[in-house]
A and B are shown apart, each in its own frame.
Chain A
Amino acid sequence: EDQVTQSPEALRLQEGESSSLNCSYTVSGLRGLFWYRQDPGKGPEFLFTLYSAGEEKEKERLKATLTKKESFLHITAPKPEDSATYLCAVQAYYGQNFVFGPGTRLSVLP
């Protein structure tokens, strides 16, 4: 059974304090790993897709990396507006659906 775990469950950072979020996955053949941001009461907002180990993607203060067992979302010099829940999802080769992790709730304090 495909599984996704994320750590930590919650993270509080001071503005400018860089950190990383972890997504560990077990899937029978990874077709893609997807990072989303979710604000309260909203749907997941797409951030990155990673397809193979060693791949990296960057967008503003965020950088996502992928290995064969996990992905990291690095946040450099975060701002309060980066506060949100960050979700990781995987898609297996044989399926259409995404399997989501429970998310990391990030709070960035001014």
Chain B
Amino acid sequence: EPEVTQTPSHQVTQMGQEVILRCVPISNHLYFYWYRQILGQKVEFLVSFYNNEISEKSEIFDDQFSVERPDGSNFTLKIRSTKLEDSAMYFCASRRESNQPQHFGDGTRLSIL
């Protein structure tokens, strides 16, 4: 069964450094998402992406964050200057249609030192 894959599984970065999290969504999906989950807390929406542009973003997704679909298969989340509070599990999700379930990857654990 096709699945969403995310790399790396764990990223350790110094505060203030840039980090790029990578995702390969399911191949025939058209809608792409990033969520984060701080340890012990809810899964929180960051951004949705459709037709090569951001369709929706949350208050968390400020100017430090950006997303890109650089080719036909990858979907990336960049954090320009990381802060301690960016430490979390980051999940990528995708779906074929806008009313169908989102399918999630297993996440990247981001640790900011």
A interface, CB within 8 angstroms of B: 31-32, 34, 36, 41-46, 49, 51, 87, 89, 91, 95-103
Contacts and interface: CB of A to CB of B under 8 A. Distances in A.
Nearest to A97: B45
Contacts of A41: 106-107
Nearest to A94: B56
Contacts of B91: 43-44
B58 interface: yes
Contact of B101 (A34, A96, A97, A103): A34
B39 to A, nearest CB: 11
Contact of B102 (A51, A95, A98): A98
Interface residues of B, number: 26
Given A31-B99, A34-B101, A49-B101, A97 B107 contact: no
A44 B43 contact: yes
Q: What are the 4 A-B residue pairs with the smallest beta carbon separation, nearest first?
A: A43-B104, A97-B45, A96-B48, A100-B43
A99 B44 CA distance: 7
23 contacts: A34-B101, A34-B102, A36-B104, A41-B106, A41-B107, A43-B91, A44-B43, A44-B104, A46-B102, A46-B103, A49-B101, A87-B43, A96-B31, A96-B48, A96-B56, A96-B98, A97-B45, A98-B35, A98-B43, A98-B45, A100-B43, A101-B42, A103-B42
Contacts of B55: 96
A36 B55 CA distance: 24
